[in-house]
Structure formats: C-alpha cells, structure tokens
Structure 1
Amino acid sequence: MAIDLYKPFERLNFSKHNCFISGEKLQHSEEEIHVFPLWLLQEYELHDKPFKLLDESMSTYSHMKLPCATSINKEVLEPLEEEIKTAFLSGYDAVQNLPDLKLFQWIGKMLYGILFNEIRIGIMQQKAKGEEFIFSQSLVHKFGNLHLMLQSLTKAIEFEGSHPWTIKVFKIESKQDLFNYRDEINTLTYSLAMKDFGIIACLQDNGTNAVYHKEILTKVQNNALHPAQFEEVCARFFYSNYLFNRLPEYTIMPTNEAIYIEAMPLMGMSNKPLFDAWQNKTYAQVLENFWKPWGILLFEILKDPENPLTHLLDESGLLIPAEKVDLPS
C-alpha cells in the first residue's frame, strides 16, 4: 500500500486539535510546540518581543505555537532541533556542514508555523463577520507543496533531481553577536543572521535564485561579509524571489517504500523569462529596508539611478573586503 499524505489545504483544516504534520487527532491541548524554538527564544531573549502579523496585529515570538503530537515532537522534532541548535551555536563552520534537507525542514517548519497562525487568525476574523474565508488558489498550491515537502520529517520522501529550494549559508564578520530574522510568507523567502553566519532561503524556487545571482555568489563564496553586505545579498534575493513568476509544479509518486517528488521543468510553463524585469527603484526601496540599522536612505541608494549604491562590489566589480566597508559592524 502506498504511503499516505496529510493534506490540510484541501479542506483548510487548521484546527489545534490535529497534529500539524501528521493530521492525527491530539489527546491534550498541551500537545504543541513553539514555532520559534525555545533555545532560540532564550539565547536572544525573544519570548516577549513583538512579532507583526500580516493583518498588522501584533503577537509575540513565544505566543506562536503549532499543534504537534507528543510522539512526533520527541522522536523527530527534538532531535532535529538539537542538531540545529548545536550547529547554530557553534557558528559558520558547523552550519555550512548541515545537510540542505535539515535546514529546509527546520526553516520550513518555522515558516509553516507562522503561516498556520496567520491562516487561523484569518479564518476566525472572517467567521466573526459571517463571511467565508477566501484563499488564493495559487497560494493554496504553493503552501500545500511546502507542507507536502515538510512531511519528509516523518515519512520516507525522496527528492528526485534538483532540490525544490535555494538555501545559502554565508560567513559574517561582526564584533557583536547578531540576531536578525526576516521572512516573506507569500514568496516563502527567509533570512537569518546570528553569531558569525547568515542564511538565505527561497523554499520553492527549484534553485533558480541561486542561478540568477550566480555572479554575486561566486564572488562572495568563502569570504566573510560585513553585516551590511549580508543584508544587501538578502535584499537581492528577497527582491528576485518576488520577481520569480512561476508557480512550480511537482510530480508526486507515492510507492510502498517512499514518496518520490520531482520538480517539473519551469521553462515549459511559459515562453517568458523566469523573472520579471529588475527595477532599480523598487530594489532600492527593498534595500533601504534591509539597511535600516545603518540609516542609509533611499535618496543615497539612488544617487545614480542606473547604479544603486552597493557595499558588496567596488567599481571594478570585485568584492569589497568586510573590513573595508565604512559602516559600523
């Protein structure tokens, strides 16, 4: 008999009475986990820090939770969390040696947890108005695929060919312990800077953003970045993933032994390029947001509208060494 998959998006089942990953009925209301792991909350004193939701309401990092069967938490999630914690607290060298799949599962669980809470709030708000909750079919498709891939935590799932995601780890040179987290749920884009490393992830682009930014990635590879340089790379990825105009499709083949997932060719869906045209003005607005800690304003970034300000590359197109970046670290 082929392995079964749990599909909460088919009926928009986001009840706290069902395990988020298996769908099994929970026995107690205490069967839940933190979306942001406890070790991370403790390391950076995030428990009561505000977390803004899509409807502009505020929650806190510690208030964001996911229903999860106790057995799955103990047997699957806690060992993963311990492995991630050990690597993250050790720093860049340990993090870059983590398998992409482990990073995908950890990041994906976090983004899905945020999404789960966002959807529940949306459903409750619409119900209070006596209205039906309407969900974009393209987002249902994208988020449903994310949940399907996350079931690799508990089921035998094999990714055939290239991975459905882009995940890159960078070394950061900083005099202080960093913590900077960002996400963009609609595009499934994520970044995290902490200790001496940074991670950028696009969870459903079939690796295209890495190809799009190949030149920058080649120049950055194995070099330590100033925190502002890392945030500039983040801005480029967040913006390009916004420009990515495909909704990836996957061939899913359940068997008795495993579920095989293979990405279908992106170019076959349309004749137009995979990314919409890059607009410097829009990119500069994104970059201004990422550079807020250094107070770099839009008019400074766009002094030359054809060549937005960069702290990554010099006039010859070479990487600027982190110590030469004339900004606070």
Structure 2
Amino acid sequence: MEPEINFYRNLNEETFDDESCFLCGKECDSKTAEHIFPKWLLHKYDLWDKKLTITNQSQIPYRNLTVPCCSECNNVHLSQMEEKFRNLLDNSFENLTNEDEKIIFQWTAKILYATRYKELSLLVDRANPNLGNILSPAELESYSALHLFLQSIRYVTVFNDPKPWSIFIFKCKDDEFFYHNNIPALCLSIKFGKVSLTIIYEDNNVISDFMSPLKVLQNHQLNFAQYLEVNAFLFYSAMIKENVPNYHSSFHQTSEILTVNTIGTLKSRKWNDKEFSAILDFILYSSGIDIGMSVLQPDGKITSFLVDENNEHLLKNHFNNKDSS
C-alpha cells in the first residue's frame, strides 16, 4: 500500500534524469551536486583523487561521485543528518541508541543507493557507448524499499520492530580508510581508521541475531585480515537470504510522520562452508591480500585469521551451528 499523499516521488514514478533529486525524486527548482561520499570524509581520509571500483569493475575518482539533489534535501535534510553521523563517528559509535542506529542506517544507505543512482548515467564501456549504461531504471526499482526508508532523512519516521537492518561495530588496529560492499546482498562495510561499521539492509535484524557470536570481537582490535574475515561472515550471511520481506508504509498528512511496518519474515538457506570459503577468498584477494591458495584446506577446514597471540581462535566455541535462520 502506497503512502496516502505524494510526500516523495517513488521509483515507479521517477524520471531518473539529471534534473530530479536523487532523494525526494522531485524535479529540482534549485539543483545542487550532492557528493555521495561527503566532502568532510574525502578531506579526512585524503580520498579526493583516490578511486572507487563500481559495479562494472571500472574505477571512478571519489571527487566525481556526485548525484543531483535539490537544495532543500542537500542543505537542510542531508546536512543535518551528516552532522549527527559525524558526532557518532567522533564517539566511535559507542553506546548506540535506536535513534543512533537510524542515523547510521540513513548515512550508509544513502551511499549505497546514491552510488547505484550514479550508475544510471555511467556507460558500461566508454569506448563502446552502444552497450548502454551500467544500470537501467528498471533495475534501480529493486531498491524501492531502500528509497522509501531514505525518506526518514526528510521526515520523522517510525520503524516498527523488527528494524530493517543489522549493524556491527568493530575496533581496528590501523588508521586506513576502507570501503567495500556486496550490492546483490544489500550490505556494506566502512572502516574509518580504527573503528569500522558493517550494515546489512532489509534483513529485519535477523543477521544481528544469527551472527551474534561475532559481537564477542567488539572487545578486540582487529588487524586488516581479521576485519575482512569478519565481513566475509556477515556478507555471506546476507547472500544466503532467500527472500526480502515486504514493507507497508503509511504517511500521516497532519503530523507528517512516516510509519514503516514489516510484512513477512526473512528466510535463509543453509550455510555452506565451501561457498563461504569462496567469498572469503574473493574478499581477501580483491582487498590486496594474496595468501597463494584457497582458505579451504584439503581436509575441509577453513584457514582463519581470527586468532590471538597464543594461536587461540577468537571465536572458539561460539560457532557451533550455522543452520538457516
């Protein structure tokens, strides 16, 4: 059921042109360019001239990752959200409230959705423009729920339990910035130097419970390989989802409050160690770590980096059963 009034332009009504705001979907009276990764982040981690690998495996400088945005969304709603997120980051995402989690969701979901929106205007192959653009409007419509949830940046929004996200926070040893995602699985991770966050969307908080043993690691400082292995667990958990729940939204015209309810539950297929190993192999290699072989050993055991100085596994006795959710 659609909201009763047109408080935003949903994706099946979108024009997806350079004159429409990526957030509210409406034609821009005064258009601005919204940096997908905000300017303060580009300055903080010296990302201006560094490049992000996008869906077709081409690379684009962070400075060029912009999307059209109306002045109100840019200068009011997004600006206020950015300030709140920076405060959470400055506090290393400690002692998060439900409202804090909503801010993290908004900030990260904006990056994921806006990056896909940007791909509407990017050619698959600039040397062969006849191949068309990376993403079609029809493909972007699969993000309709995420686009609806992003309206929480503009309006007071009540997400009734279960929350449509799972968030994990970890401490890291080095100061480097790192970003990676899994588009089909609707998840991403960002390492802000010595603190990182990983989020899975539209899972109704199921993966937060399923992968709760990983929360033991919140008391450890992870090296880069350990951080990647943790994300392999989380990304693969998102990849084995068999469905995405449906969502019912209502918008109260007088109070201007958006309410989101879940219809249905999330189901996942059974964990497969061989599949998980392939994901971990890919994440390690694509992130610059080449161990020269697969993490899946001939005896079926999986090489793990999650060990302490005494070679004891940090998750010993915490993962006894990885059956479907």
Q: Distance in 2 between matches of 1:183 and 1:84?
A: 19
Residue 216 of structure 1 corresponds to: 214
Q: Report how far residue 188 of structure 1 moved.
A: 1.6
What count of residue pairs does the alignment treat as equivalent?
307
SS, match of residue 56 in structure 2: coil
Residue 309 of structure 1 corresponds to: 303
Q: Distance in 1 between matches of 2:160 and 2:93?
A: 28
Q: Report how far residue 154 of structure 1 moved.
A: 0.7
Q: Distance in 1 between matches of 2:186 and 2:40?
A: 24
Q: Report how far residue 65 of structure 1 moved.
A: 0.7
Moved more, 148-157 or 251-260: 251-260
Q: Report how far residue 308 of structure 1 moved.
A: 0.7
Conservation of the 8 A alpha-carbon contact between 1:165 and 1:207:
yes
Residue 289 of structure 1 corresponds to: 282
Residue 262 of structure 1 corresponds to: 261
Query: 1:71 and 2:72 equivalent?
Result: yes
Q: Distance in 2 between matches of 1:177 and 1:248?
A: 37
Residue 276 of structure 1 corresponds to: 269
Q: Distance in 1 between matches of 2:72 and 2:184?
A: 31
For the structure 1 residues 93 and 204, does the alpha-carbon distance in structure 2 shift closer, same or farther, using more than 3 Å as the test? closer
SS, match of residue 168 in structure 1: strand
Q: How does 1:51-90 map to 2 (within 5 A)?
A: 51-88=52-89, 90=90
Conservation of the 8 A alpha-carbon contact between 2:190 and 2:196:
yes
Q: Distance in 2 between matches of 1:103 and 1:24?
A: 25
Q: TM-score, normalised by structure 2?
A: 0.82
Residue identity opposite 1:155 in structure 2: Y
Residue 155 of structure 1 corresponds to: 155
- Identify unmatched segments of 5+ residues in structure 2: 317-325
Q: Report how far residue 231 of structure 1 moved.
A: 1.5
Residue identity opposite 1:310 in structure 2: S
Question: What is the aligned-residue identity percentage?
Answer: 24
Q: Report how far residue 80 of structure 1 moved.
A: 1.9
Residue identity opposite 2:270 in structure 1: A
Q: Report how far residue 63 of structure 1 moved.
A: 0.5
Residue 17 of structure 2 corresponds to: 15
Q: Distance in 2 between matches of 1:58 and 1:226?
A: 26
Query: 1:231 and 2:232 equivalent?
Result: no
Residue 184 of structure 1 corresponds to: 182
- Identify unmatched segments of 5+ residues in structure 1: 268-273, 321-329
Residue identity opposite 1:43 in structure 2: K
Q: How does 1:57-136 map to 2 (within 5 A)?
A: 57-88=58-89, 90=90, 92=92, 94=94, 96=96, 99-121=100-122, 129=130
Conservation of the 8 A alpha-carbon contact between 2:232 and 2:279:
yes
Q: Report how far residue 213 of structure 1 moved.
A: 1.2
Conservation of the 8 A alpha-carbon contact between 1:80 and 1:102:
yes
Conservation of the 8 A alpha-carbon contact between 2:48 and 2:63:
yes
Q: Distance in 2 between matches of 1:235 and 1:35?
A: 25
SS, match of residue 232 in structure 1: helix
For the structure 1 residues 224 and 57, does the alpha-carbon distance in structure 2 shift closer, same or farther, using more than 3 Å as the test? closer
Instruction: State the superposition RMSD in angstroms.
Output: 3.2
Moved more, 13-22 or 286-295: 286-295
Query: 1:196 and 2:194 equivalent?
Result: yes
Q: Report how far residue 135 of structure 1 moved.
A: 5.5
Deviations along 1:179-234, one digit per CA (max 9) or x if unpaired, are: 110012222210011222110111111112222212333x3243333332221110
Conservation of the 8 A alpha-carbon contact between 2:116 and 2:135:
no
Conservation of the 8 A alpha-carbon contact between 1:188 and 1:203:
yes
Residue identity opposite 2:260 in structure 1: I
Q: Distance in 1 between matches of 2:238 and 2:182?
A: 10
Conservation of the 8 A alpha-carbon contact between 2:120 and 2:133:
no
For the structure 1 residues 227 and 92, does the alpha-carbon distance in structure 2 shift closer, same or farther, using more than 3 Å as the test? farther
Residue identity opposite 1:72 in structure 2: C
Q: Distance in 2 between matches of 1:165 and 1:21?
A: 19
Q: TM-score, normalised by structure 1?
A: 0.81
